[in-house]
Amino acid sequence: MVKKFAEALAKLKKPALISHIGPDGDAIGSQLALYFWFQDRGIEPMMFNDDPVPDNLTWLAGQEKIREPEKELLDQCDAILFVDGNDPSRFGKMAEYFSNTNKPLYLIDHHLDPPEGIFSEMLWDSSASSTAYLVYTLFAETGPESISREIGEALYAGIVTDTGSFRFDTVTDDTHFAVGNIIRYGGIKPSEIYSRIYDDRTLSEYHLLGTVLKGIRLFCDEKVAVMEVTEKMMSENGCSKDDLEGFVNYPLSIRGVAVSVLLYEREDRVKISLRGKSLVDLNQVARKFNGGGHFNASGAWHPGPVEKAVKELVAEISELLS
């Protein structure tokens, strides 16, 4: 699968690399590592994302080349490579362009249920810890010695963030073997990268976190933790959406908790984040609420109000638990 994928990519002249709305470490890290993979082959891709690179990742080399997608720029590309997501609607305002274009579409991703018949070639494995791991396999196939420091940092950032710092169920010997090679070939320092990504929080964020954690409620025999963030909490602490990164993982450290739910009250709807410990298929839960993702990590939306969302989500999860 990797060899065929690599051969197909190497034939492209001007690929567009695009990742999902609200890009995370895996999205950006994978995109940048791919960018350098193409560059090594004399191909200059264009990188697009609807939303900006999160503040704690702006040190990654090449990130300044990522721009907002525009029809005129996409028209110049000979193919579109979707990174870390498989549903065109996850790719923002150009979703319709992607659905209607005649350009070949490629996919590199680890999310469940990729649509059938739309990709010319894909490097897809829903058991992979991250898309960055799949990008690593591309390098492993075509020569891991080309993993430079900037590539190693991008790959490491993608893997460390999407595995919750190597603690999720998706982490295997393959993950650690890959990371070993990324560190060795890239000559990178994990503690430095970890610190740049995670030790970048503000006191306001911690105050917000305190408020949010204080509001945790447990349901279903204390197996399901629910917490909420309101616009009021955000403004009182002077925080924005990006500051919520990682909050949803905290309740999973409570003894007995198997599912964590974070509800973020937006102007017109409620954003739902779900994280789990392999007891409930959270992709299935998210799909009931216009979302999706993975077995243990997914996202969705509810029209609100928050209490209604809590009730419906708990009912859904409770059914799957029993």
Per DSSP, the three-state class of 265 is strand
Q: What is the DSSP letter of 205?
A: H
CA distances, 310 to each of 94, 160, 248 (Å): 32, 30, 15
**What number of chain residues touch Mn ion (CB under 5 A)?**
4
Bridge partners (DSSP) listed for residue 46? 16
Q: Which two tokens stand for residue 5?
A: 């994928």
For position 291 contacting ligand 5GP by CB under 6 A, the verdict is yes
Per DSSP, the three-state class of 299 is strand
For the CA atoms of the chain, what is the radius of gyration?
20
Nearest residue (CB) to Mn ion, 126 versus 284: 126
Nearest residue (CB) to ligand 5GP, 157 versus 300: 300
Helix axes 131-142, 25-40, angle to 10 degrees: 20
Which part of the chain contacts ligand 5GP (CB under 6 A), choosing from 10-18, 178-186, 231-239, 291-299?
291-299
Nearest residue (CB) to ligand 5GP, 90 versus 223: 90
Which part of the chain contacts ligand 5GP (CB under 6 A), choosing from 31-39, 91-99, 169-177, 295-303?
295-303
For position 90 contacting ligand 5GP by CB under 6 A, the verdict is yes
User: Residue 186 CB, nearest distance to Mn ion (Å)?
Assistant: 20
- Say how many residues make up the chain: 322
For residues 245 and 247, give the distance between their C-alpha atoms in angstroms, rounded to a whole number: 6
For position 109 contacting Mn ion by CB under 5 A, the verdict is no
For position 129 contacting ligand 5GP by CB under 6 A, the verdict is no
Which part of the chain contacts Mn ion (CB under 5 A), choosing from 7-15, 58-66, 78-86, 207-215?
78-86
Q: Kindly provide the residue ranges of all beta strands, DSSP E only, lying in the chain, ordered along the sequence.
A: 15-19, 46-48, 66-67, 79-83, 105-109, 121-124, 217-219, 224-229, 259-265, 270-276, 292-293, 297-302
Nearest residue (CB) to Mn ion, 30 versus 260: 30
273 binds, among Mn ion, ligand 5GP, none (CB under 5 to 8 A by kind): ligand 5GP
For position 298 contacting ligand 5GP by CB under 6 A, the verdict is yes
Among 53, 159, 263, 297, which residue sits at the site for ligand 5GP (rule: CB under 6 A)?
Answer: 297
For position 15 contacting ligand 5GP by CB under 6 A, the verdict is no
For position 281 contacting ligand 5GP by CB under 6 A, the verdict is no
Contact criterion met (CB below 8 Å) for 17 and 46: yes
The phi and psi torsions of 14 (rounded to 5 degrees) equal: -145, 75
Among 88, 92, 251, 292, which residue sits at the site for ligand 5GP (rule: CB under 6 A)?
Answer: 292
Tokens 């591309």 found at: 138
Residues in contact with Mn ion by the rule CB under 5 A: 26, 84, 131, 162
Residues in contact with ligand 5GP by the rule CB under 6 A: 20, 85, 87, 90, 273, 291-294, 297-301
